[in-house]
A = this chain, B = another copy of it.
Amino acid sequence: MSVTSYHHGDLRTAMIEKGIEMINEQGINTLSLRQLAAACGVSHAAPYSHFANKDDLLSAIQKHITDKFVSVLSEALTGLNDTPEGLLNMGCAYVMFFVRNPQYFHFTFNRMNLLIDFDENPSEYEPFELYKDTMLHLLEKINIANELWRKIIITHLSFVHGLASIAIMTSNVNIEEWEENVYDILSKSYFLGGMQC
């Protein structure tokens, strides 16, 4: 495969990787197919040999990012299955993943609509499904009343996801500072007044 060959070699993965790169640099809103194709050294219609349309490419990018995210969450869980520490560790990983990659957050949650299902059905978004399953196992193990499960899961997921949102919306986001504090914030659950355990 020569460097200047007519065929790119592996345009599909090149588009995905360069796409992720550009999303990190300039965000999702200004990402154009033609620019991305040019950045891959290819004509503007070349991507259509590998993707049905722009949204299809974005879905592929989404999958890539989501897979990475899931592996980060799973890693945070290894050795701590079915323990509160594991859940907490996963929560920290959840927040830090987006603190380190804020553009992934916007990209992911602006494109999707119905992601979660708190009933028996699986959630469309795998990280949510992983979080839900992890909590279900834990809740079963420590004998929490069945009718509370739904609200407990909603509460946990809201807190963790919300903390990620708030973190990346904070001015002068400081990764190290969040690294130091996430665990403390999630574990202590500083509440007061009307909202507390």
Contacts of A109 in B (CB 8 A): 165, 169
Q: Is A163 an interface residue (CB 8 A)?
A: yes
Contacts of A121 in B (CB 8 A): 171
Q: Choose one: B83, B169, B195; the contact of A186 (CB below 8 Å).
A: B195
Q: Are A116 and B166 in contact, with the CB atoms below 8 A?
A: yes
Give 1 or 0 for each of A159-182: 1 = CB within 8 Å of chain B CB: 111110110011110000000010
Considering the complex, give the chain B residue whose CB is closest to the CB of A171. Answer: B114
Contacts of A88 in B (CB 8 A): 193-195
Q: Are A189 and B193 in contact, with the CB atoms below 8 A?
A: no
Contacts of A115 in B (CB 8 A): 169, 171
A105 to chain B, nearest CB (A): 10
Copy total for this chain: 2
Q: Are B185 and A189 in contact, with the CB atoms below 8 A?
A: no
Contacts of A52 in B (CB 8 A): none
Total chain A interface residues with beta-carbon distance under 8 A: 57
Considering the complex, give the chain B residue whose CB is closest to the CB of A138. Answer: B193
Q: Is A157 an interface residue (CB 8 A)?
A: yes
A-B contact pairs, 25 of them (CB 8 A): A84-B193, A84-B195, A85-B193, A85-B194, A114-B170, A114-B172, A115-B169, A116-B169, A116-B171, A117-B171, A138-B192, A138-B193, A151-B185, A154-B166, A154-B185, A155-B189, A158-B162, A158-B165, A159-B159, A159-B191, A159-B195, A162-B162, A186-B194, A187-B195, A189-B195
Listed in ascending order, the chain A residues whose CB lies under 8 Å from chain B are 29, 83-85, 87-88, 91, 106, 109-110, 112-118, 121, 124, 138-139, 142, 144, 148, 151-152, 154-163, 165-166, 169-172, 181, 184-197
